[in-house]
Amino acid sequence: MPVSTSSSGIVDGDYICGVGTVSKLITMYTLLTCAGDSHLANPITNYIPKLKALGKNLKVEEDSIDHASWEDMTLGEVASHMAGIVRDEFFDYLLSEHPLLPGASTPAYSNTAYQVKGYALSHILNQPTSSIINSLFSRLHMSNSHHFLPSSTSRGVFDLDAGDETPAGSYYSSSNDLSLLGRSILRSDLLNPVQTRRWMKPLAHTADPLSSIDAPWEITHVPRANGRNTDLYTKSGDIGAYSAYLILSPDHGVGFTVLVNSASTIGATAVARRLADALVSEVSPAVEEAGGRFVGDERPRLGVGDAGWRTEFFGGLVVAKGGVGEGEELSKRLFPTGLTSKRERKDGTRKFVTKMSFRMSQDVLPKEEEVSDFNPKCINWFVVGAMIYGGTVLDDFVFEMSEDGMAERIEYRPLGLKLMKQ
């Protein structure tokens, strides 16, 4: 969704803008796709000899106020704003700067960290950073994305070259290209799905209970009416008169982008945030209703007596609810595990999901007045796989899906029982 007040050429999905610190996400994705995630636990000094030489001369144990502990700082901490180093500084001056915080303690946003990360990426792959980043753009067919200033100004406004800090905040792209990036991440096109899931997890929390961080995700926990949070994995960026957002919802497999070019930085940021807020408000309820593909008509049944099935905003498919005591409620729900089976479509175009795994949770929900810090209302994570009889786990269900993504039948695997959707 590009917006512009000072454009060159047509403003559409291919309109090129500076994406600011969304560049950090591109740099991180490039590292993961080209070198995997095994390097993240290694000290940053493994990749930047200058820091290693400096660290030998510092007395960090005696004076951690004045000296950063480079030997103890990992590449992963640098990537996730957990290194405790300054926000903005040229590398040569960085070595004499005092640390902001102890490493691995609490997040402190840093552009300098991604300048350091750019050097590390170049060292790992033994190539210039620009070549490595442009190779990712080529693999994803992001033809309107650039590491340096684009040579043509027919489809955008270009006015900034950040030099060695480019990996932190100075790539150029379009909303269509960022959509290609987001789809690639959600579908694990270039990463093993396990690596994607490992990457898209909160690493640390901020002072805001609805905000967490990862490398370099800015994770927003969006409260829902049913008491469940939806985690949005976002990366925002502001530079000059540009503002950008890439927002992904792994729970729903969807995302969107916002790119703004305005007359001022403040104006661009304000417009981008309002657009992002509006899109989240409008899109989220719609995609949550997609749970309807698992249920039937007005009185949805799957051939199980009087047990009704309905959806509650991806809080699981409600199998049954009923009272077990005054103020208490027994809840049985099916939750998607993310495990699937796939095969090619009949026309051979691409694969589709043929089966989806679900697990059932059975909870006795406490009375509202009894809910406390140590008596939470939701303990689903604690009861998955807990129902066992005769050596068989009893919460194992599989939905069989049609090519159009609708559930056709459900199998209760402990009994080998298949029930048709009615």
- Digit-coded pLDDT (tens) for 241-267: 888 999 999 988 889 899 888 766 666
Handedness of CA 288, 294, 296, 302 (dihedral sign): negative
Q: Residue 301: what pLDDT?
A: 36
CA count, 13 A, side-chain hemisphere, 409: 8
Token reading at 99: 């640390």
Read off the pLDDT of each residue in 17-36 and give the average, rounded to a whole number: 96
Q: Residue 152: what pLDDT?
A: 55
Assess whether pLDDT exceeds 70 at residue 67: yes
Assess whether pLDDT exceeds 80 at residue 127: yes
Of residues 118 and 324, the one with the higher pLDDT is 118
Residue 361: closest CA among 377, 340, 373: 377
For the stretch 198-231, pLDDT in tens is: 999 999 999 999 999 999 999 999 887 666 678 9
- Rounded to 10°, the helix 112-125/22-35 angle is 20
Residue 30: closest CA among 107, 95, 121: 121
Q: Residue 299: what pLDDT?
A: 35
Q: Residue 400: what pLDDT?
A: 93
What residue type is 187 in one-letter code? R
CA count, 13 A, side-chain hemisphere, 356: 20
Assess whether pLDDT exceeds 70 at residue 6: no
Label residue 332 by pLDDT band (50, 70, 90): confident
Q: Residue 375: what pLDDT?
A: 73
Q: Residue 128: what pLDDT?
A: 95
Q: Cβ distance 161 to 72 under 8 Å?
A: no
Label residue 44 by pLDDT band (50, 70, 90): very high
Q: Residue 87: what pLDDT?
A: 86
Give the bridge partners for 257, in sequence order. Answer: 246
Average pLDDT in the chain = 81
Residue 76: closest CA among 48, 98, 44, 101: 44
Residue 328: closest CA among 380, 378, 372, 363: 363
Token reading at 187: 């579908």
Of residues 18 and 200, the one with the higher pLDDT is 200
